[in-house]
């Protein structure tokens, strides 16, 4: 048991208490951020004359050594320490002696952990954004290749109107684009530095908080020391954005599962992204899509869990807040995995264009267009709706699509119909006439694709990593 705070205690901590309290098993994930934060702190302490330059150099060298040794595996992080902060400080003192004992001057683990967690998640916001960017590139490629892959669009999971695959995928493009803009917003809002807030009330040392904030590439220091150590809003916002990403991936997965089913056969997943059954030799299952859909619950759980943890905590720091870590780390890793795998799955899937087109030809997806034909010949829309309804009923009885009715049959119900009705309700016409912006017609889709390309260029690595922190 290695602790930073033995002085006022007369007894050893009970072993179960120690285990219950310790966080090293999970906060070791941000050992790098902890060391970088300490480096910035020490540089500032020396600049302010609180440490000598010699002490600063000794500490920096010691911290660099710890970083190097952890990274190359020569120094193992073990549960002999309470948390990552204790681990780094104890190792520093082992290496450089008394100077190491000065590292924690003007700092508390409360502002330290707030900083570490922020540095860690700030990078992860960028990583998730980059993964979404790659996913968007894949979606745009599918869109460009499928401008005239006709398929039924659905409402209530019933065939509604004909669209194209490009148009359908374009809906997901918009969703993931919004997800990126949420990450961007979160990044801007979270990018202030809590270091220097101390335990909750600042410190009596003449710290230069703006300087450490600058070294760590923050916009500036946080403006209230209590809030600095008590705030986990940015994690809640991030978990909320991650939950929304999962909701989008999950809806998409649900469609992949449906489309890959024997009933739909709209797509065929690549063998590399499918799994088999231990008993049924014929099976090829969409497990990846199902897992993405399933893991959505886990990410929502993290959001609910942290919201609940935070709701009753009085200001400022309380140990409850240690619970922010495992679930956030798990949610981040889960979402990163899901985006990457989903991208690979969709990039390698084969779209069965003829099956999709055939499906659009059945199910009366062109009924609205038949009504529009009448409207264009002066029939009021409500009447046209009724007339086509009768025609659909007749087709259902005869088990044929609208375009297999003879012209006499059309005319029998409404004499306004002429030979050009067949052309007017062809799949191609139905789609190609829809050219208002946002609609599936090629002319509109080409404009949208141009706009999305421009968006991708303008937002390439819009959030990025820093070459070097500190």
Catalytic residues: 156, 277
Phi, psi (rounded to 5 degrees) for 314: -70, 160
Q: Give least dist CB 56 to ligand ARG, A.
A: 25
Please give the Cα distance from 20 to 350 (Å, whole number): 51
Give yes or no for residue 51 binding ligand ARG (CB under 6 A): no
Distance CA 333, CA 242 (A): 11
- Give, as ranges, the residues between 368 and 427 that touch ligand ARG (CB under 6 A): none
Is 117 or 370 the residue whose CB approaches ligand ARG more closely? 117
- Tell me the closest approach of the beta carbon of residue 341 to ligand ARG, in angstroms: 30
Whether the bond into 238 is cis, omega within 30 of 0? no
CB of 60 or CB of 313, closer to ligand ARG: 313
Question: Does 121 participate in binding ligand ARG (rule CB under 6 A)?
Answer: no
The answer to whether 197 contacts ligand ARG (rule: CB under 6 A) is no
Q: Which stretch binds ligand ARG (CB under 6 A): 109-117, 167-175, 358-366, 376-384?
A: 109-117
What is d(CA 176, CA 138) in angstroms, rounded to the nearest whole number? 12
Exposure of 282 by Cβ count < 10 A (0-12 exposed, 13-18 middle, 19+ buried)? exposed
Q: Which DSSP string do the residues of 326-386 spell out, in sequence order?
A: HHHHHHHHHHHHHHHHHHHHHHHPEE-HHHHHHHHHTTTTTHHHHHHHHHHTT--HHHHHH
- Give the per-residue contact string, 334-373, with ligand ARG (x = CB under 6 A; - = no): ----------------------------------------
The single residue among 322, 368, 426, 459 that binds ligand ARG, judged by CB under 6 A, is 322
Q: Does 28 bind ligand ARG (CB under 6 A)?
A: no
Question: Mapping DSSP to helix (H, G, I), strand (E, B) and coil, where does residue 315 land?
Answer: coil
How many angstroms separate the CA atoms of 237 and 189, rounded? 10
When asked if residue 116 is in the footprint of ligand ARG (CB under 6 A), the reply is no
Closest CA to 46 of 211, 260, 186, 226: 211
CB of 109 to ligand ARG, least distance (A): 4
Q: Distance (Å, rounded) from C-alpha 236 to C-alpha 172?
A: 24
CA 161 to chain centre: 31
Rule CB under 6 A: say whether 107 interacts with ligand ARG: no
Which of 28, 58, 86, 110 forms a contact with ligand ARG (CB under 6 A)? Answer: 110
Size of the site for ligand ARG (CB under 6 A): 10
Is residue 317 near ligand ARG by the rule CB under 6 A? yes
Q: Give min distance, CB of 27 to ligand ARG, in A.
A: 6
Determine, following the binding rule CB under 6 A, whether residue 459 of this chain makes contact with ligand ARG: no
Euclidean distance between CA atoms 39 and 199, whole angstroms: 19
Interface contacts to ligand ARG, rule CB under 6 A: 23, 27, 83, 109-110, 113, 317, 319, 321-322
């Amino acid at each position: 048991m290695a602790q930073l705070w033995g002085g006022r205690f007369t007894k050893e901590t009970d072993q179960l208490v120690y285990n219950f309290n310790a966080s090293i098993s999970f906060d070791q994930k941000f050992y790098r951020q902890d060391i970088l934060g300490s480096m910035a702190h020490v540089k500032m302490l020396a600049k302010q004359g609180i440490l000598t330059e010699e002490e600063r150099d000794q500490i920096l060298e010691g911290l660099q050594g710890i970083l190097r040794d952890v990274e190359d595996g020569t120094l193992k992080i073990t549960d002999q320490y309470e948390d990552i902060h204790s681990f780094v400080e104890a190792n520093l003192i082992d290496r450089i002696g008394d100077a190491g004992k000065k590292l924690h001057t003007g700092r508390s683990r409360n502002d330290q952990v707030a900083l570490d967690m922020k540095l860690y998640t700030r990078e992860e916001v960028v990583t998730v954004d980059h993964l979404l960017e790659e996913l968007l590139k894949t979606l745009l490629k599918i869109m460009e290749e499928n401008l005239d892959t006709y398929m039924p669009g659905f409402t209530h999971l019933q065939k509604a109107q004909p669209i194209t695959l490009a148009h359908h995928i374009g809906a997901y493009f918009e969703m993931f684009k919004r997800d990126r803009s949420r990450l961007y917003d979160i990044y801007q809002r979270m990018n202030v530095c809590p270091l220097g807030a101390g335990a909750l009330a600042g410190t009596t040392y003449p710290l230069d908080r703006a300087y450490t904030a600058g070294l760590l590439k923050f916009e500036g220091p946080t403006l209230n020391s209590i809030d600095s150590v008590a705030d986990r809003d940015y994690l809640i916002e991030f978990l909320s954005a991650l939950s929304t990403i999962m909701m989008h991936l999950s809806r998409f997965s649900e469609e992949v599962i449906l489309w890959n089913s024997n009933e739909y056969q709209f797509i065929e997943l690549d063998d590399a992204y499918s799994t088999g059954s231990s008993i049924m030799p014929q099976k090829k299952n969409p497990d990846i899509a199902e897992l993405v859909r399933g893991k959505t619950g886990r990410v929502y759980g993290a959001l609910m869990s942290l919201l609940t943890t935070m709701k009753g905590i009085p200001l400022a720091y309380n140990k409850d807040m240690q619970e922010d870590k495992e679930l956030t780390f798990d949610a981040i890793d889960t979402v990163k995995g899901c985006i990457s795998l989903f991208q690979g799955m969709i990039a390698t899937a084969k779209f069965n264009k003829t099956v999709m087109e055939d499906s659009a030809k059945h199910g009366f997806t062109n009924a609205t267009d038949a009504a529009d034909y009448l409207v264009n010949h002066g029939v009021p829309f409500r009447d046209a709706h009724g007339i086509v309804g009768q025609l659909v009923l007749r087709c259902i009885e005869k088990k044929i699509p609208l375009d297999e009715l003879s012209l006499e049959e059309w005319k029998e119900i409404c004499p306004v119909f002429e030979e050009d009705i067949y052309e007017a309700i062809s799949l191609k016409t139905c789609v190609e006439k829809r050219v208002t912006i946002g609609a599936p017609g090629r002319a509109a889709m080409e404009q949208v694709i141009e706009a999305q390309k421009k968006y991708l260029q303008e937002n390439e690595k819009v959030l990025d990593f820093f070459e070097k922190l500190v």
